[in-house]
Amino acid sequence: AQSVTQPDIHITVSEGASLELRCNYSYGATPYLFWYVQSPGQGLQLLLKYFSGDTLVQGIKGFEAEFKRSQSSFNLRKPSVHWSDAAEYFCAVGLSGGYQKVTFGTGTKLQVIP
C-alpha cells in the first residue's frame, strides 16, 4: 500500500528566507506525486504535481519540488518565503492512471515570522 511521510509537523521560517519541506513516499511503482496547500478553514489547493519526465517540477506561487527516486523523496522548496505562505502543506501520492485514491501525508504547518 502506498504511504507518505512528512517528518516535520511544524516549521518556522523568517520572511525572505528559503524553505524546504520534506516528503518521503512508499509505493511499488512510479507514483504520481502532489503538493497541496491548505489555509485555515479552506479546502486544498494544488501547488504542483509530478508524473514523469523532468524531476524538477515548477508550481504556482514560486514553489518547486524535486523528485528523487533513489531517496523516495519529493521535497518542496521556495527560495524566498512570503508572509502569505503561512499555511499547512500536504504531500500526497496517487495511483497511476489518473486521479485515484490519493494518499496524503499528515501535513507540515508553516509559520512565517517577520
**Pattern 87-106, binding to other proteins, x per CB under 8 A?**
---x-x-x--xxxxxxxxxx
Q: Which residue has the cell 519541506?
A: 21
Check residue 44 for interaction with other proteins (CB under 8 A): yes
- Strand-pair category, 3-5 with 103-104: unpaired
Check residue 31 for interaction with other proteins (CB under 8 A): no
Check residue 42 for interaction with other proteins (CB under 8 A): yes
81 or 93, CB closer to other proteins?
93
The amino acid at 35: W
Q: Quote the cell numbers at residue 94.
A: 496517487
Rounded Cα distance, 67 and 90, in Å: 15
13 or 37, CB closer to other proteins?
37
Check residue 3 for interaction with other proteins (CB under 8 A): no
66 CB neighbour count, 10 Å cutoff: 16
Rounded Cα distance, 93 and 101, in Å: 9
Check residue 45 for interaction with other proteins (CB under 8 A): yes
Check residue 30 for interaction with other proteins (CB under 8 A): no
Q: Which residue has the cell 504520481?
A: 32
| Binding residues for other proteins (CB under 8 A) | 4, 32, 36, 41-46, 49, 51, 90, 92, 94, 97-107
